[in-house]
A and B are shown apart, each in its own frame.
Chain A
Amino acid sequence: MHIPDGFLDAKTAVTSGVLAVTGLGLALRRVRQTLPPQQMPLLGLAAAFIFAAQMLNFPVAGGTSGHLLGGALAAALLGPAAAVVAMSAVLVLQCLLFSDGGVTALGANLFNMALAAPVAAWLVYRPLARVADRRLAVACAAWVSTLTAALLCAGELAWSGRVGWSLVFPAMGGIHALIGLGEALLTALILGAIAAARPELLDAENTVPRRAVLGLGLLLSLGLVLFVAPFACPWPDGFEKIAAQLGFEQHGSTLFKAPLADYAVPGLQWEKLGIILSGAIGTLAVFVLVWVLVRMIAKRKQDHAA
Protein backbone atom coordinates (compact mmCIF):
# COMPACT_ATOMS: atom_id res chain seq x y z
CA MET A 1 0.00 0.00 0.00
CA HIS A 2 3.05 2.26 -0.03
CA ILE A 3 2.53 4.78 -2.85
CA PRO A 4 5.80 5.41 -4.74
CA ASP A 5 6.98 8.73 -6.15
CA GLY A 6 5.42 9.89 -9.40
CA PHE A 7 2.01 8.40 -8.70
CA LEU A 8 0.43 11.46 -7.11
CA ASP A 9 -0.02 14.91 -8.61
CA ALA A 10 0.85 18.12 -6.78
CA LYS A 11 -2.62 18.90 -5.37
CA THR A 12 -3.06 15.43 -3.88
CA ALA A 13 0.48 15.36 -2.50
CA VAL A 14 0.06 18.78 -0.86
CA THR A 15 -3.44 18.10 0.49
CA SER A 16 -2.51 14.77 2.03
CA GLY A 17 0.75 16.28 3.28
CA VAL A 18 -1.10 19.04 5.13
CA LEU A 19 -3.51 16.50 6.65
CA ALA A 20 -0.66 14.22 7.73
CA VAL A 21 1.45 17.01 9.26
CA THR A 22 -1.56 18.37 11.16
CA GLY A 23 -2.37 14.90 12.45
CA LEU A 24 1.19 14.13 13.49
CA GLY A 25 1.41 17.52 15.19
CA LEU A 26 -1.79 16.86 17.14
CA ALA A 27 -0.59 13.40 18.14
CA LEU A 28 2.84 14.69 19.22
CA ARG A 29 1.28 17.41 21.34
CA ARG A 30 -1.02 14.89 22.96
CA VAL A 31 1.88 12.52 23.64
CA ARG A 32 4.04 15.28 25.10
CA GLN A 33 1.22 16.27 27.45
CA THR A 34 0.15 12.84 28.62
CA LEU A 35 2.97 10.32 28.18
CA PRO A 36 5.02 9.87 31.35
CA PRO A 37 8.74 10.45 30.65
CA GLN A 38 9.70 6.88 31.48
CA GLN A 39 7.45 5.73 28.63
CA MET A 40 9.22 7.93 26.08
CA PRO A 41 11.64 5.25 24.84
CA LEU A 42 8.65 2.93 24.41
CA LEU A 43 7.56 5.00 21.38
CA GLY A 44 10.78 4.15 19.56
CA LEU A 45 10.83 0.55 20.74
CA ALA A 46 7.18 0.02 19.83
CA ALA A 47 7.96 1.43 16.39
CA ALA A 48 10.89 -0.98 16.08
CA PHE A 49 8.56 -3.79 17.20
CA ILE A 50 6.01 -2.92 14.49
CA PHE A 51 8.83 -2.82 11.95
CA ALA A 52 10.17 -6.21 13.05
CA ALA A 53 6.68 -7.70 13.23
CA GLN A 54 6.07 -6.58 9.64
CA MET A 55 9.02 -8.76 8.64
CA LEU A 56 7.44 -11.92 10.09
CA ASN A 57 5.75 -13.86 7.30
CA PHE A 58 2.55 -15.58 8.23
CA PRO A 59 1.21 -18.43 6.09
CA VAL A 60 -2.17 -17.68 4.50
CA ALA A 61 -4.31 -20.20 2.61
CA GLY A 62 -2.99 -21.57 -0.67
CA GLY A 63 0.73 -21.31 -0.10
CA THR A 64 0.75 -17.52 -0.04
CA SER A 65 1.95 -15.60 2.96
CA GLY A 66 1.14 -12.22 4.36
CA HIS A 67 2.58 -9.96 6.97
CA LEU A 68 1.21 -7.70 9.66
CA LEU A 69 0.51 -4.03 8.91
CA GLY A 70 0.24 -3.16 12.57
CA GLY A 71 -1.99 -0.07 12.69
CA ALA A 72 -4.68 -1.69 14.81
CA LEU A 73 -2.19 -3.51 17.04
CA ALA A 74 -0.32 -0.27 17.71
CA ALA A 75 -3.57 1.53 18.53
CA ALA A 76 -4.73 -1.19 20.94
CA LEU A 77 -1.35 -1.40 22.68
CA LEU A 78 -0.39 2.27 22.87
CA GLY A 79 -3.59 4.28 22.51
CA PRO A 80 -4.35 6.42 19.46
CA ALA A 81 -1.93 9.35 19.80
CA ALA A 82 1.16 7.29 20.64
CA ALA A 83 0.22 4.82 17.89
CA VAL A 84 0.13 7.64 15.35
CA VAL A 85 3.62 8.78 16.45
CA ALA A 86 5.11 5.26 16.38
CA MET A 87 3.56 4.36 13.02
CA SER A 88 4.72 7.70 11.57
CA ALA A 89 8.27 6.94 12.65
CA VAL A 90 8.04 3.56 10.92
CA LEU A 91 6.82 5.14 7.68
CA VAL A 92 9.38 7.96 7.72
CA LEU A 93 12.18 5.44 8.22
CA GLN A 94 10.80 3.19 5.48
CA CYS A 95 10.70 6.18 3.15
CA LEU A 96 14.11 7.66 3.99
CA LEU A 97 16.16 4.57 4.57
CA PHE A 98 14.47 1.74 2.69
CA SER A 99 13.00 3.81 -0.18
CA ASP A 100 9.70 2.08 0.55
CA GLY A 101 7.09 4.65 -0.41
CA GLY A 102 7.92 7.89 -2.19
CA VAL A 103 9.03 11.21 -0.74
CA THR A 104 6.31 13.18 -2.49
CA ALA A 105 3.84 10.49 -1.44
CA LEU A 106 5.08 10.48 2.16
CA GLY A 107 2.20 12.71 3.24
CA ALA A 108 -0.33 10.38 1.67
CA ASN A 109 1.34 7.25 3.03
CA LEU A 110 1.59 8.80 6.48
CA PHE A 111 -2.04 9.81 6.37
CA ASN A 112 -3.30 6.42 5.18
CA MET A 113 -1.20 4.05 7.25
CA ALA A 114 0.09 6.03 10.23
CA LEU A 115 -2.93 8.20 10.93
CA ALA A 116 -6.12 6.82 9.39
CA ALA A 117 -5.34 3.16 10.12
CA PRO A 118 -4.68 3.44 13.88
CA VAL A 119 -7.35 6.10 14.45
CA ALA A 120 -10.02 4.14 12.55
CA ALA A 121 -8.94 1.05 14.48
CA TRP A 122 -9.21 2.88 17.80
CA LEU A 123 -12.66 4.28 16.97
CA VAL A 124 -13.86 0.70 16.38
CA TYR A 125 -11.84 -1.01 19.12
CA ARG A 126 -12.58 1.29 22.04
CA PRO A 127 -16.40 0.98 22.11
CA LEU A 128 -16.40 -2.68 21.03
CA ALA A 129 -13.87 -3.76 23.66
CA ARG A 130 -16.29 -2.64 26.38
CA VAL A 131 -19.11 -4.88 25.27
CA ALA A 132 -17.34 -7.76 23.53
CA ASP A 133 -14.25 -9.90 23.84
CA ARG A 134 -11.08 -7.89 23.37
CA ARG A 135 -9.82 -10.16 20.61
CA LEU A 136 -13.06 -9.87 18.66
CA ALA A 137 -12.97 -6.10 19.07
CA VAL A 138 -9.41 -5.79 17.81
CA ALA A 139 -10.15 -8.14 14.89
CA CYS A 140 -12.99 -5.90 13.71
CA ALA A 141 -10.80 -2.85 14.26
CA ALA A 142 -7.96 -4.36 12.20
CA TRP A 143 -10.26 -5.17 9.29
CA VAL A 144 -11.80 -1.70 9.25
CA SER A 145 -8.42 0.00 9.53
CA THR A 146 -6.93 -2.00 6.65
CA LEU A 147 -9.88 -1.23 4.40
CA THR A 148 -9.91 2.45 5.39
CA ALA A 149 -6.25 2.85 4.49
CA ALA A 150 -6.73 1.01 1.19
CA LEU A 151 -9.73 3.12 0.19
CA LEU A 152 -7.87 6.34 1.01
CA CYS A 153 -4.95 5.11 -1.08
CA ALA A 154 -7.30 4.32 -3.99
CA GLY A 155 -8.98 7.71 -3.67
CA GLU A 156 -5.62 9.52 -3.72
CA LEU A 157 -4.50 7.67 -6.85
CA ALA A 158 -7.81 8.40 -8.55
CA TRP A 159 -7.80 12.07 -7.50
CA SER A 160 -4.35 12.42 -9.06
CA GLY A 161 -5.88 11.31 -12.36
CA ARG A 162 -3.39 8.48 -12.79
CA VAL A 163 -5.77 5.56 -12.49
CA GLY A 164 -9.54 5.62 -12.93
CA TRP A 165 -11.62 5.12 -9.80
CA SER A 166 -13.65 2.35 -11.46
CA LEU A 167 -10.37 0.46 -11.86
CA VAL A 168 -8.48 1.25 -8.68
CA PHE A 169 -11.42 0.98 -6.28
CA PRO A 170 -12.26 -2.70 -6.89
CA ALA A 171 -8.55 -3.56 -7.13
CA MET A 172 -7.54 -1.94 -3.86
CA GLY A 173 -10.82 -2.45 -2.00
CA GLY A 174 -11.25 -6.08 -3.04
CA ILE A 175 -7.70 -7.17 -2.28
CA HIS A 176 -7.58 -5.36 1.03
CA ALA A 177 -10.96 -6.66 2.16
CA LEU A 178 -9.19 -10.05 1.99
CA ILE A 179 -5.86 -8.86 3.39
CA GLY A 180 -7.87 -7.26 6.19
CA LEU A 181 -9.16 -10.69 7.22
CA GLY A 182 -5.58 -11.91 7.64
CA GLU A 183 -4.70 -8.74 9.52
CA ALA A 184 -7.72 -9.24 11.77
CA LEU A 185 -6.74 -12.82 12.60
CA LEU A 186 -3.09 -11.94 13.28
CA THR A 187 -3.86 -8.88 15.36
CA ALA A 188 -6.36 -10.83 17.46
CA LEU A 189 -3.90 -13.69 18.02
CA ILE A 190 -1.04 -11.37 18.97
CA LEU A 191 -3.13 -9.17 21.25
CA GLY A 192 -4.62 -12.27 22.85
CA ALA A 193 -1.15 -13.67 23.54
CA ILE A 194 0.02 -10.37 25.04
CA ALA A 195 -3.10 -10.14 27.21
CA ALA A 196 -2.57 -13.69 28.43
CA ALA A 197 1.07 -13.05 29.36
CA ARG A 198 0.87 -9.51 30.76
CA PRO A 199 -2.72 -8.33 31.20
CA GLU A 200 -1.60 -5.20 33.06
CA LEU A 201 -0.02 -3.78 29.88
CA LEU A 202 -3.44 -3.40 28.29
CA ASP A 203 -4.85 -1.17 31.01
CA ALA A 204 -3.68 1.87 29.05
CA GLU A 205 -6.80 1.65 26.92
CA ASN A 206 -8.99 2.73 29.81
CA THR A 207 -7.00 5.84 30.59
CA VAL A 208 -7.36 7.52 27.20
CA PRO A 209 -10.07 10.18 27.41
CA ARG A 210 -12.58 10.37 24.60
CA ARG A 211 -11.64 13.83 23.46
CA ALA A 212 -8.08 12.64 22.87
CA VAL A 213 -9.23 11.28 19.52
CA LEU A 214 -11.51 14.19 18.66
CA GLY A 215 -8.98 16.05 16.49
CA LEU A 216 -7.52 12.92 14.95
CA GLY A 217 -10.99 11.52 14.23
CA LEU A 218 -11.98 14.78 12.61
CA LEU A 219 -8.89 14.67 10.39
CA LEU A 220 -9.68 11.07 9.41
CA SER A 221 -13.21 11.99 8.35
CA LEU A 222 -11.91 15.04 6.50
CA GLY A 223 -9.54 12.76 4.56
CA LEU A 224 -12.34 10.34 3.73
CA VAL A 225 -14.52 13.23 2.55
CA LEU A 226 -11.75 14.68 0.38
CA PHE A 227 -10.32 11.52 -1.13
CA VAL A 228 -13.07 8.94 -1.15
CA ALA A 229 -16.46 10.70 -1.09
CA PRO A 230 -16.23 12.47 -4.48
CA PHE A 231 -15.72 9.13 -6.21
CA ALA A 232 -17.83 6.85 -4.09
CA CYS A 233 -20.92 8.98 -4.63
CA PRO A 234 -22.84 7.11 -7.35
CA TRP A 235 -25.51 9.66 -8.22
CA PRO A 236 -23.86 11.81 -10.91
CA ASP A 237 -22.90 8.71 -12.86
CA GLY A 238 -26.35 7.21 -12.49
CA PHE A 239 -27.92 10.46 -13.57
CA GLU A 240 -25.71 10.73 -16.62
CA LYS A 241 -26.53 7.16 -17.57
CA ILE A 242 -30.24 7.80 -17.39
CA ALA A 243 -29.83 11.05 -19.30
CA ALA A 244 -27.96 9.18 -22.00
CA GLN A 245 -30.60 6.45 -22.16
CA LEU A 246 -33.42 8.94 -22.53
CA GLY A 247 -31.48 10.96 -25.06
CA PHE A 248 -31.20 14.10 -22.95
CA GLU A 249 -27.55 14.74 -23.38
CA GLN A 250 -27.63 16.22 -26.88
CA HIS A 251 -30.43 18.55 -25.86
CA GLY A 252 -28.65 19.61 -22.75
CA SER A 253 -25.89 21.39 -24.60
CA THR A 254 -28.28 23.36 -26.80
CA LEU A 255 -30.85 24.19 -24.16
CA PHE A 256 -28.43 25.75 -21.72
CA LYS A 257 -25.73 28.09 -22.85
CA ALA A 258 -23.10 27.82 -20.15
CA PRO A 259 -21.85 31.23 -19.03
CA LEU A 260 -18.33 29.85 -18.63
CA ALA A 261 -18.34 27.79 -21.79
CA ASP A 262 -14.83 28.92 -22.75
CA TYR A 263 -13.31 27.43 -19.63
CA ALA A 264 -12.36 23.80 -19.56
CA VAL A 265 -14.96 21.51 -17.94
CA PRO A 266 -16.36 23.99 -15.42
CA GLY A 267 -19.32 21.75 -14.59
CA LEU A 268 -17.15 18.85 -13.52
CA GLN A 269 -14.92 20.97 -11.29
CA TRP A 270 -17.78 22.68 -9.47
CA GLU A 271 -19.79 19.54 -9.13
CA LYS A 272 -16.87 17.86 -7.41
CA LEU A 273 -16.31 20.87 -5.15
CA GLY A 274 -20.00 20.82 -4.28
CA ILE A 275 -19.83 17.17 -3.30
CA ILE A 276 -16.72 17.79 -1.22
CA LEU A 277 -18.33 20.78 0.50
CA SER A 278 -21.59 19.01 1.26
CA GLY A 279 -19.66 15.99 2.47
CA ALA A 280 -17.53 18.17 4.73
CA ILE A 281 -20.57 19.91 6.20
CA GLY A 282 -22.30 16.56 6.69
CA THR A 283 -19.28 15.07 8.44
CA LEU A 284 -18.97 18.07 10.72
CA ALA A 285 -22.64 17.85 11.61
CA VAL A 286 -22.43 14.14 12.38
CA PHE A 287 -19.30 14.71 14.42
CA VAL A 288 -20.82 17.48 16.50
CA LEU A 289 -23.91 15.36 17.07
CA VAL A 290 -21.90 12.34 18.19
CA TRP A 291 -19.72 14.49 20.42
CA VAL A 292 -22.73 16.09 22.13
CA LEU A 293 -24.30 12.64 22.64
CA VAL A 294 -21.08 11.25 24.07
CA ARG A 295 -20.79 14.21 26.43
CA MET A 296 -24.35 13.71 27.62
CA ILE A 297 -23.87 9.99 28.20
CA ALA A 298 -20.56 10.54 29.95
CA LYS A 299 -22.13 13.15 32.22
CA ARG A 300 -25.02 10.87 33.14
CA LYS A 301 -22.57 8.11 33.97
CA GLN A 302 -20.64 10.46 36.25
CA ASP A 303 -23.84 11.49 37.99
CA HIS A 304 -24.63 7.86 38.60
CA ALA A 305 -21.19 7.28 39.98
CA ALA A 306 -21.40 10.26 42.33
Chain B
Amino acid sequence: MQPDFIDRYSRLDSPVHRLAAGPKLLTGLTLVLLVALWPATPWSLLGTTTALLLALALLSRIPPRFLLRRLLIAEPFALGVAVLTLLQPGGFQMFLVMLAKSTLCLAAMILLTATTPFTDLLAALRRVHLPAIFVTTLALLYRYLFVLADESARMRRARMSRSFAVDPAQHRRALATVASQLFLRAHDRAGRIFAAMSARGWEER
Protein backbone atom coordinates (compact mmCIF):
# COMPACT_ATOMS: atom_id res chain seq x y z
CA MET B 1 0.00 0.00 0.00
CA GLN B 2 1.31 3.38 -0.91
CA PRO B 3 1.48 5.24 2.35
CA ASP B 4 0.23 8.54 1.03
CA PHE B 5 -2.61 7.30 -1.16
CA ILE B 6 -5.37 8.55 1.10
CA ASP B 7 -4.32 12.13 1.74
CA ARG B 8 -1.68 12.61 -0.93
CA TYR B 9 -3.08 15.98 -1.99
CA SER B 10 -4.17 17.24 1.41
CA ARG B 11 -1.26 19.69 1.63
CA LEU B 12 -1.72 21.47 -1.68
CA ASP B 13 -2.33 25.20 -1.72
CA SER B 14 -5.76 26.29 -2.94
CA PRO B 15 -8.70 28.33 -1.64
CA VAL B 16 -10.36 25.11 -0.46
CA HIS B 17 -7.21 23.90 1.30
CA ARG B 18 -6.75 27.24 3.04
CA LEU B 19 -10.13 27.06 4.81
CA ALA B 20 -9.77 26.28 8.52
CA ALA B 21 -10.23 22.61 9.33
CA GLY B 22 -12.89 23.08 12.01
CA PRO B 23 -15.41 25.09 9.95
CA LYS B 24 -14.67 22.90 6.92
CA LEU B 25 -15.45 19.77 8.91
CA LEU B 26 -18.63 21.37 10.23
CA THR B 27 -19.76 22.41 6.74
CA GLY B 28 -18.99 19.00 5.30
CA LEU B 29 -20.88 17.19 8.03
CA THR B 30 -23.87 19.55 7.75
CA LEU B 31 -24.01 19.00 4.00
CA VAL B 32 -23.89 15.22 4.44
CA LEU B 33 -26.58 15.31 7.15
CA LEU B 34 -28.80 17.45 4.93
CA VAL B 35 -28.45 15.23 1.89
CA ALA B 36 -28.67 11.92 3.70
CA LEU B 37 -31.49 12.60 6.12
CA TRP B 38 -33.81 14.96 4.21
CA PRO B 39 -36.94 12.80 4.15
CA ALA B 40 -38.55 13.53 0.77
CA THR B 41 -35.34 14.36 -1.13
CA PRO B 42 -36.20 16.99 -3.76
CA TRP B 43 -34.04 16.52 -6.83
CA SER B 44 -33.25 20.26 -6.67
CA LEU B 45 -31.32 19.69 -3.41
CA LEU B 46 -29.32 16.89 -4.97
CA GLY B 47 -28.68 19.04 -8.06
CA THR B 48 -27.48 22.04 -6.03
CA THR B 49 -25.19 19.82 -3.97
CA THR B 50 -23.72 18.24 -7.07
CA ALA B 51 -22.98 21.65 -8.58
CA LEU B 52 -21.46 22.91 -5.31
CA LEU B 53 -19.21 19.85 -4.94
CA LEU B 54 -18.08 20.04 -8.56
CA ALA B 55 -17.18 23.71 -8.15
CA LEU B 56 -15.24 22.97 -4.94
CA ALA B 57 -13.43 20.07 -6.59
CA LEU B 58 -12.36 22.31 -9.47
CA LEU B 59 -11.25 25.04 -7.07
CA SER B 60 -9.19 22.58 -5.01
CA ARG B 61 -6.82 21.79 -7.94
CA ILE B 62 -6.76 18.12 -7.00
CA PRO B 63 -6.42 15.90 -10.10
CA PRO B 64 -9.99 14.80 -10.98
CA ARG B 65 -8.71 11.28 -11.67
CA PHE B 66 -7.64 10.91 -8.04
CA LEU B 67 -11.05 11.98 -6.71
CA LEU B 68 -12.85 9.76 -9.22
CA ARG B 69 -10.74 6.77 -8.29
CA ARG B 70 -11.46 7.18 -4.60
CA LEU B 71 -15.17 7.48 -5.40
CA LEU B 72 -15.09 4.31 -7.51
CA ILE B 73 -13.26 2.38 -4.79
CA ALA B 74 -15.93 3.23 -2.22
CA GLU B 75 -18.96 2.93 -4.49
CA PRO B 76 -19.32 -0.91 -4.66
CA PHE B 77 -20.18 -1.05 -0.95
CA ALA B 78 -23.11 1.33 -1.47
CA LEU B 79 -24.15 -0.55 -4.60
CA GLY B 80 -24.18 -3.88 -2.79
CA VAL B 81 -26.78 -2.73 -0.25
CA ALA B 82 -28.76 -0.65 -2.76
CA VAL B 83 -29.23 -3.63 -5.09
CA LEU B 84 -31.40 -5.26 -2.42
CA THR B 85 -34.05 -2.55 -2.89
CA LEU B 86 -34.45 -3.56 -6.54
CA LEU B 87 -35.91 -6.87 -5.39
CA GLN B 88 -38.96 -5.28 -3.80
CA PRO B 89 -41.98 -3.62 -5.47
CA GLY B 90 -41.38 0.00 -6.46
CA GLY B 91 -37.74 -0.44 -5.64
CA PHE B 92 -36.24 1.27 -8.66
CA GLN B 93 -37.10 4.80 -7.49
CA MET B 94 -35.70 3.95 -4.03
CA PHE B 95 -32.59 2.49 -5.66
CA LEU B 96 -31.91 5.69 -7.62
CA VAL B 97 -32.51 7.98 -4.64
CA MET B 98 -30.33 5.93 -2.32
CA LEU B 99 -27.53 5.67 -4.83
CA ALA B 100 -27.61 9.42 -5.59
CA LYS B 101 -27.62 10.29 -1.89
CA SER B 102 -24.80 7.96 -0.94
CA THR B 103 -22.66 9.02 -3.91
CA LEU B 104 -23.05 12.71 -3.05
CA CYS B 105 -22.21 12.11 0.61
CA LEU B 106 -19.20 10.04 -0.40
CA ALA B 107 -18.01 12.79 -2.74
CA ALA B 108 -18.38 15.40 0.01
CA MET B 109 -16.37 13.34 2.50
CA ILE B 110 -13.68 12.47 -0.04
CA LEU B 111 -13.32 16.13 -0.95
CA LEU B 112 -13.11 17.07 2.73
CA THR B 113 -10.37 14.56 3.58
CA ALA B 114 -8.49 15.19 0.36
CA THR B 115 -8.20 18.91 1.12
CA THR B 116 -7.52 18.67 4.89
CA PRO B 117 -4.50 17.03 6.53
CA PHE B 118 -5.76 14.41 8.97
CA THR B 119 -3.76 15.95 11.82
CA ASP B 120 -5.75 19.19 11.36
CA LEU B 121 -8.99 17.24 11.56
CA LEU B 122 -7.73 15.62 14.78
CA ALA B 123 -6.87 19.03 16.23
CA ALA B 124 -10.40 20.20 15.37
CA LEU B 125 -11.85 17.14 17.11
CA ARG B 126 -9.69 17.86 20.14
CA ARG B 127 -10.96 21.44 20.22
CA VAL B 128 -14.58 20.27 20.40
CA HIS B 129 -13.59 18.23 23.48
CA LEU B 130 -13.69 14.74 22.16
CA PRO B 131 -12.13 12.74 25.02
CA ALA B 132 -8.34 13.15 24.90
CA ILE B 133 -7.67 9.43 25.20
CA PHE B 134 -9.80 8.77 22.12
CA VAL B 135 -8.13 11.48 20.04
CA THR B 136 -4.71 10.11 21.05
CA THR B 137 -5.82 6.63 20.03
CA LEU B 138 -6.97 7.98 16.66
CA ALA B 139 -3.68 9.83 16.17
CA LEU B 140 -1.62 6.72 17.01
CA LEU B 141 -3.83 4.62 14.75
CA TYR B 142 -3.29 7.03 11.86
CA ARG B 143 0.44 7.27 12.50
CA TYR B 144 1.13 3.54 12.83
CA LEU B 145 -1.42 2.20 10.38
CA PHE B 146 1.03 2.66 7.53
CA VAL B 147 3.94 1.30 9.55
CA LEU B 148 2.02 -1.87 10.35
CA ALA B 149 0.74 -2.16 6.78
CA ASP B 150 4.36 -2.02 5.60
CA GLU B 151 5.40 -4.54 8.22
CA SER B 152 2.62 -6.85 7.11
CA ALA B 153 3.67 -6.46 3.47
CA ARG B 154 7.29 -7.32 4.37
CA MET B 155 6.21 -10.44 6.21
CA ARG B 156 4.02 -11.39 3.26
CA ARG B 157 6.95 -11.01 0.89
CA ALA B 158 9.15 -13.10 3.16
CA ARG B 159 6.51 -15.82 3.31
CA MET B 160 5.95 -15.80 -0.47
CA SER B 161 9.66 -16.10 -1.12
CA ARG B 162 9.88 -19.19 1.06
CA SER B 163 6.78 -21.06 -0.09
CA PHE B 164 5.89 -21.89 -3.67
CA ALA B 165 2.66 -23.85 -3.88
CA VAL B 166 0.72 -24.26 -0.67
CA ASP B 167 -2.77 -25.61 -0.18
CA PRO B 168 -5.36 -23.25 1.29
CA ALA B 169 -5.25 -24.83 4.76
CA GLN B 170 -1.49 -24.29 5.01
CA HIS B 171 -1.91 -20.81 3.58
CA ARG B 172 -4.46 -19.96 6.26
CA ARG B 173 -2.22 -21.28 9.02
CA ALA B 174 0.72 -19.30 7.71
CA LEU B 175 -1.39 -16.16 7.55
CA ALA B 176 -2.60 -16.72 11.09
CA THR B 177 1.03 -16.86 12.20
CA VAL B 178 1.74 -13.67 10.29
CA ALA B 179 -1.26 -11.95 11.89
CA SER B 180 -0.24 -13.11 15.36
CA GLN B 181 3.30 -11.84 14.78
CA LEU B 182 1.83 -8.56 13.63
CA PHE B 183 -0.02 -8.24 16.92
CA LEU B 184 3.03 -9.15 18.99
CA ARG B 185 5.12 -6.59 17.13
CA ALA B 186 2.41 -3.96 17.58
CA HIS B 187 2.27 -4.81 21.28
CA ASP B 188 6.02 -4.47 21.74
CA ARG B 189 6.07 -1.30 19.69
CA ALA B 190 3.41 0.16 21.98
CA GLY B 191 5.76 -0.43 24.90
CA ARG B 192 8.62 1.37 23.13
CA ILE B 193 6.31 4.21 22.14
CA PHE B 194 5.29 4.67 25.76
CA ALA B 195 8.94 4.85 26.80
CA ALA B 196 9.59 7.43 24.09
CA MET B 197 6.51 9.45 25.02
CA SER B 198 7.48 9.45 28.69
CA ALA B 199 11.04 10.47 27.82
CA ARG B 200 9.62 13.50 26.04
CA GLY B 201 7.51 14.52 29.00
CA TRP B 202 4.12 13.19 27.95
CA GLU B 203 1.37 13.53 30.49
CA GLU B 204 -2.09 12.11 30.42
CA ARG B 205 -4.67 14.83 30.18
- A86 CB–B CB distance under 8 Å: yes
> What's the nearest-Cβ distance from chain B to residue A61, in Å?
8
* CA–CA, A40 and B142, complex, Å: 15
- Chain A, residue nearest B192 (CB): A41
* CA–CA, A164 and B97, complex, Å: 16
Task: Establish whether residues A6 and B102, one from each chain, have CB atoms under 8 Å apart when the complex forms.
Answer: yes
Task: Establish whether residues A41 and B88, one from each chain, have CB atoms under 8 Å apart when the complex forms.
Answer: no
- B74 CB–A CB distance under 8 Å: yes
* CA–CA, A59 and B143, complex, Å: 29
Task: Establish whether residues B148 and A96, one from each chain, have CB atoms under 8 Å apart when the complex forms.
Answer: no
Task: List, in ascending order, chain A residues with CB within 8 A of B32's CB.
Answer: 5, 102-104
Task: Establish whether residues B194 and A40, one from each chain, have CB atoms under 8 Å apart when the complex forms.
Answer: yes
Task: List, in ascending order, chain A residues with CB within 8 A of B172's CB.
Answer: 58-59, 185-186, 189
Number of B residues whose C-beta is below 8 Å from A?
A: 77
Task: List, in ascending order, chain A residues with CB within 8 A of B178's CB.
Answer: 56
Annotate A155-198 by CB proximity to B: 1 below 8 A, 0 otherwise.
00100001110011001000000000000011001111110011
> What's the nearest-Cβ distance from chain B to residue A75, in Å?
14
Contact of A190 among B106, B145, B176 (CB under 8 A): B176
Task: Establish whether residues B105 and A44, one from each chain, have CB atoms under 8 Å apart when the complex forms.
Answer: no
- Chain B, residue nearest A68 (CB): B179
Chain A 90-144 residues near chain B, CB threshold 8 A: 90, 92-93, 95-100, 102-104
Task: Establish whether residues A10 and B39, one from each chain, have CB atoms under 8 Å apart when the complex forms.
Answer: yes
- Chain A, residue nearest B85 (CB): A163
Contact of A104 among B36, B136, B204 (CB under 8 A): B36
Task: List, in ascending order, chain B residues with CB within 8 A of A98's CB.
Answer: 6, 74
- B13 CB–A CB distance under 8 Å: no
* CA–CA, A92 and B36, complex, Å: 18
- Chain A, residue nearest B5 (CB): A98
Task: Establish whether residues A52 and B145, one from each chain, have CB atoms under 8 Å apart when the complex forms.
Answer: yes
- Given the interface pairs A6-B35, A51-B145, the reply to whether A103 lies near B105 with Cβ below 8 Å is yes
Task: Establish whether residues A4 and B140, one from each chain, have CB atoms under 8 Å apart when the complex forms.
Answer: no
* CA–CA, A282 and B151, complex, Å: 49
- B77 CB–A CB distance under 8 Å: yes
**Which stretch in A31-39, A213-221, A229-237, A273-281 binds the other chain?**
A31-39
Given contacts A48-B148, A56-B152, A99-B70, 9 further A-B contacts (CB under 8 A): A6-B105, A7-B78, A31-B133, A47-B137, A98-B6, A103-B29, A104-B37, A162-B85, A192-B176
- Given the interface pairs A4-B81, A9-B39, the reply to whether A41 lies near B140 with Cβ below 8 Å is yes
Q: A-B pairs with the 8 shortest C-beta distances?
A: A44-B140, A6-B101, A5-B105, A189-B176, A193-B180, A42-B190, A45-B190, A52-B148
- A150 CB–B CB distance under 8 Å: no
- Given the interface pairs A6-B98, A193-B176, A194-B183, the reply to whether A44 lies near B144 with Cβ below 8 Å is yes
Contact of A86 among B97, B137, B204 (CB under 8 A): B137
Task: Establish whether residues B105 and A102, one from each chain, have CB atoms under 8 Å apart when the complex forms.
Answer: yes
Task: Establish whether residues A28 and B36, one from each chain, have CB atoms under 8 Å apart when the complex forms.
Answer: no
> What's the nearest-Cβ distance from chain B to residue A90, in Å?
7
Interface size class of A (residues with CB under 8 A): 35 or more
- A2 CB–B CB distance under 8 Å: yes
* CA–CA, A95 and B112, complex, Å: 12
> What's the nearest-Cβ distance from chain B to residue A300, in Å?
36
- Given the interface pairs A28-B131, A97-B113, A100-B74, the reply to whether A90 lies near B187 with Cβ below 8 Å is no
- Given the interface pairs A5-B105, A55-B152, A190-B176, the reply to whether A41 lies near B133 with Cβ below 8 Å is no
> What's the nearest-Cβ distance from chain A to residue B14, in Å?
20
Task: Establish whether residues A157 and B184, one from each chain, have CB atoms under 8 Å apart when the complex forms.
Answer: no
Task: List, in ascending order, chain A residues with CB within 8 A of B187's CB.
Answer: 42, 45-46, 201
* CA–CA, A131 and B142, complex, Å: 39
Chain B 6-37 residues near chain A, CB threshold 8 A: 6-7, 29, 32-33, 35-37
* CA–CA, A39 and B197, complex, Å: 12
Task: List, in ascending order, chain A residues with CB within 8 A of B156's CB.
Answer: 56
Task: Establish whether residues B149 and A55, one from each chain, have CB atoms under 8 Å apart when the complex forms.
Answer: yes
* CA–CA, A2 and B191, complex, Å: 32
Annotate B126-162 by CB proximity to A: 1 below 8 A, 0 otherwise.
0000010110111111111101110110001000000
- Chain B, residue nearest A105 (CB): B36
- B173 CB–A CB distance under 8 Å: yes
Task: List, in ascending order, chain B residues with CB within 8 A of A38's CB.
Answer: 191, 194
Task: List, in ascending order, chain A residues with CB within 8 A of B152's CB.
Answer: 52-53, 55-56
- For this complex, 13 residue pairs linking A to B, each with C-beta atoms less than 8 Å apart, are A4-B78, A6-B97, A9-B37, A9-B39, A39-B194, A45-B186, A59-B168, A88-B134, A93-B145, A97-B6, A103-B36, A191-B180, A193-B177
